[in-house]
Amino acid sequence: MPSNAEAQRAEGSGERDETARRGGKRVLYRRLRALRGEGVVRADYDLAPALPPLLVGFALLLILVLGLGVLSVRRLEIVGRTTLDLERQHAAKISLLLRLRTALTELNNQARARAEAEARRELRPPFDLPLRNARGEVRDLLDAFQKTALWQTDLGQQLGRQVADFVETAVDSERFSLEGFERFRALEATLDQMLRDLGREQDEILRTSEELEREAASRIRLLTYLAALTGAFVAAGTIWEVQRRFRQAKRSLREVERQRRFNLQILEGMVSAVAVIDAHERIRSANAAFLRLFPKAQIGSSIDEPLAQPEAMRMLERAARANAERATYCGRWVIRSGGSDGEARTFDLYASPLEVDGERASLVTMVDVTEAARAEAELRRKEALAAVGQATAQVAHEIKNPLGSIRLGVTLLRDMTTDERALSTIELLERGIEHLNKITLDVTRYSRHKPLSLSEVELQNLLEDSIMLVRDRLAEKRAHIERRYSAEPIHGLWDADQLQEVFVNLLVNALDASDDGKPIVVETRLIENSIAGGQAGRGWAVISIEDFGCGMDAATRARIFEPFFTTKKRGTGLGLAIVKRIVEEHGGKLEVESEVGKGTRFTIKLPLVAPVENTADRWASAPGGAPLK
């Protein structure tokens, strides 16, 4: 047996059993970790069938989310840019008006300062540079104002004219003194009005911005709904595909499991022992028949361990080390179970190449041919007996003719003498002649195969006719027949003459084995197929003939059907051999039960319908060529 360390390595290999215990049966196949220093057997891993649709669905949902995010950001950017542009334009307008007001105020101040200086008759520079600068700035701002959208409005046109008039007024100090103040006030009123209009425009910009934001939010919600709907379709499609593939994988697994169970049942039901031996001479797989033949074997055991009887181990080693390139016959082996006194079983040994985990292995098959070997031996024995029977029949034929002459001569001698001693001698000769004549008749009957002549027979009547033929022997033994017939008549398609020979022979043997005055029991019954184990549509008639004589031991029972074997002083040893042959030709069975000192029972089981091989006889025996009913 393997050591504890080896057992732990085999059991703790980390890889699961391919076929676990089911129904109380032992493991049929298990992967083992490779031996130390030789690496670990690795399996190729593929994607699960349900994983690709999950990955595709996840990718599509991710694309939808990214697309929704990009579109939402882009929409918000558009709203932001639009609002920013409007705010910038508005700010530019306000800035321009404020600068224009500042420049006009500066121009007004410079003009007033000039007017005051002139009124005080102060000395001024000839060119009055600050005033000119203020006037130039106003003209520049007016040019910029004329390029804006404000210039297109009526109020803008009015402001432009007022600015131009004010600039012209500021040039002339007298005119400025007369009109400048009024014109500046009117100009400020126009600027205030435009600034108020721009304030309202600011409110409009805010409303526009809010409208754009609402529109963007509405568009984003729509995109969100579309993305959610699309995602739901993608998820539903993915789930459906996963479910479809899962169902397909489940069906495949069920089919694989069904096939595995079917193969397991085949292997477990095989009479032949089957095992797989790997390159390290360890058992990788075995069926129940192999484990019965090698009771100490386990999955992972080495063939160098004592798993069974030495002869069985030699057989296993021979097959495992055959290194067969193809299916190879490794001879016939005889194994005794339970030691030298156990039952002998015959096996034909085969070895076939196999690959396990990428390494060379052997498939060992041990075909139990015990029954075939026995049948072959029985056939050879029957052929030998047939040859002996034919030779004996020839000898009997050669003896029969001179035996008639001897009988005639002895009869003439009896008629020619009256001497008591001579008559006693003649009587002794006649008994010897009768015995010799019986032997020749039995040998001739055994050696000649007579075909069955089938007809419808009523069993009880046939038994009564047979009993009548032995009534003299019954009278000699002062015995009687105890009849235990079935309640209903039993009819069958049999050969009446040959069956009568069977019954008479068994009755005579029963009388010979019984003491005087002991009964002979004759019993009949009808049984169904389920009890008798017969073929479909065939009932069976069972006939038992039992005596209460001396009985037989096991050695005698084993040989009673052999030709020329007898326990009688003047028997031929052919009676029971003829009986067995006739019963078997009818497709029946002959069984014997006996115990020394208690008696013997012969049981005959006959099918009610003739066997297939005698169909031709049935047709030939029927009137008009029709089979008898």
* Confidence bin at 95 (pLDDT 50/70/90): confident
| Neighbouring C-beta atoms of residue 530, cutoff 10 Å | 7
Considering 342, 368, 394, which residue would you say is the last residue of a domain? 368
Q: Are residues 153 and 196 in the same domain?
A: yes
Residue range(s) defining the domain that contains residue 202 = 55-219
For the chain, give the mean pLDDT: 77
How confident is the model at residue 600, as a pLDDT?
93
* 507 HSE (CA, 13 A, CB side): 28
- Distance CA(375)–CA(383), nearest Å, equals 12
pLDDT tens digits, 171-200: 877 788 888 888 888 888 888 888 888 888
Cross-strand bridge partners of residue 544: 523, 603
Query: Tokens 């042959």 map to which residue?
Result: 581
- Distance CA(521)–CA(549), nearest Å, equals 12
How confident is the model at residue 341, as a pLDDT?
52
Residue 241 falls inside a structural domain: no
| Neighbouring C-beta atoms of residue 126, cutoff 10 Å | 6
Residue 230 falls inside a structural domain: no
Asked if 285 contacts 299 with a C-beta cutoff of 8 angstroms, the reply is: yes
SS3 track for 230-265: HHHHHHHHHHHHHHHHHHHHHHHHHHHHHHHHHHHH
Q: Are residues 345 and 282 in the same domain?
A: yes
Asked if 592 contacts 601 with a C-beta cutoff of 8 angstroms, the reply is: yes
Q: Are residues 360 and 409 in the same domain?
A: no
Burial 595-617 (b: 16+ CB within 10 A, else e): eeeebbbbebbbbbbbbeebeeb
Q: Are residues 302 and 391 in the same domain?
A: no
Q: Which DSSP letter does residue 173 get? A: H
User: 148: helix, coil or strand?
Assistant: coil
Comparing 491 with 171, which gets the higher pLDDT?
Answer: 491
| Neighbouring C-beta atoms of residue 463, cutoff 10 Å | 22
* Confidence bin at 28 (pLDDT 50/70/90): very low
Interacting residues of 202 by C-beta distance below 8 A, sequence separation 6+: 90
Going 384 to 340 to 316 to 275, the CA torsion angle's sign is positive
Q: Are residues 386 and 364 in the same domain?
A: no
Q: Are residues 199 and 279 in the same domain?
A: no
Query: Tokens 């911005």 map to which residue?
Result: 209
Asked if 470 contacts 504 with a C-beta cutoff of 8 angstroms, the reply is: yes
Of 94-103, 363-372, 617-626, where does mean pLDDT reach its minimum? 617-626
- Distance CA(55)–CA(242), nearest Å, equals 11
* Confidence bin at 621 (pLDDT 50/70/90): very low
Question: CA nearest 493: which of 575, 588, 579, 591?
Answer: 588
- Residue range 299-304: average pLDDT? 85
Q: Are residues 344 and 406 in the same domain?
A: no
DSSP secondary structure letters along 449-482: -PPP--EEEEHHHHHHHHHHHTHHHHHHHT--EE
Q: Are residues 168 and 91 in the same domain?
A: yes
Length of the chain: 629
Residue 96 falls inside a structural domain: yes
Residue 613 falls inside a structural domain: no
Give the CATH number of the domain where residue 567 resides: 3.30.565.10
- Which one-letter amino acid corresponds to residue 306? P
Q: Which of 472-481, 606-615, 620-629 has the highest mean pLDDT?
A: 472-481
Going 552 to 557 to 563 to 564, the CA torsion angle's sign is negative
- Residue range 108-132: average pLDDT? 74
Cross-strand bridge partners of residue 605: 542, 589
Q: Are residues 135 and 84 in the same domain?
A: yes
Comparing 538 with 260, which gets the higher pLDDT?
Answer: 260
Joined together, the tokens standing for residue 587 give: 């497709």
Rounded to 10 degrees, the C-alpha dihedral 136/139/144/146 comes to -170
- Distance CA(514)–CA(185), nearest Å, equals 166
pLDDT tens digits, 410-464: 788 777 877 888 778 887 777 777 767 766 766 666 666 678 888 999 999 999 9
How confident is the model at residue 503, as a pLDDT?
92
Q: Are residues 338 and 418 in the same domain?
A: no
Q: Classify burial at 358, counting beta carbons within 10 Å of its beta carbon; exposed 0-12, middle 13-18, buried 19 or more.
A: exposed
How confident is the model at residue 3, as a pLDDT?
43
Asked if 340 contacts 312 with a C-beta cutoff of 8 angstroms, the reply is: no
How confident is the model at residue 30, as a pLDDT?
46
Query: Tokens 């339970």 map to which residue?
Result: 338
How confident is the model at residue 397, as a pLDDT?
63
Residue 441 falls inside a structural domain: no
- Distance CA(232)–CA(229), nearest Å, equals 5
Of 60-69, 233-242, 377-386, 533-542, where does mean pLDDT reach its minimum? 533-542
Rounded to 10 degrees, the C-alpha dihedral 69/70/71/74 comes to 120
pTM: predicted TM-score of the whole model, two decimal places:
0.41
pLDDT tens digits, 220-266: 888 788 878 887 887 888 788 888 888 888 888 889 888 888 888 88
**Which parts of 124-180 fold into alpha helices (H)?**
129-146, 154-171, 173-175
| Neighbouring C-beta atoms of residue 216, cutoff 10 Å | 19
* Confidence bin at 484 (pLDDT 50/70/90): very high
Bridge-based pairing state of the strands 344-356 and 520-527? unpaired
- Distance CA(428)–CA(466), nearest Å, equals 30
Give the CATH number of the domain where residue 343 resides: 3.30.450.20
- Residue range 369-395: average pLDDT? 73
Query: Tokens 């600015």 map to which residue?
Result: 163
Residue 105 falls inside a structural domain: yes
Residue 516 falls inside a structural domain: yes
* 313 HSE (CA, 13 A, CB side): 14
Question: What's CA 602's distance to the chain center, in Å?
Answer: 50
Statement: residue 5 has pLDDT above 60:
no
- Distance CA(333)–CA(349), nearest Å, equals 7
Residue 391 falls inside a structural domain: yes
Domains in the chain, number? 4
- Which one-letter amino acid corresponds to residue 279? A
- Which one-letter amino acid corresponds to residue 247? R
Q: Are residues 558 and 411 in the same domain?
A: no
* Confidence bin at 43 (pLDDT 50/70/90): very low
Cross-strand bridge partners of residue 367: 348
How many helices and strands (H and E) does the chain possess? Answer: 17, 14
Q: Are residues 569 and 594 in the same domain?
A: yes
Task: Indicate left, alpha or beta for 317 from its phi (over 0: left) and psi (-120 to 50: alpha).
Answer: alpha
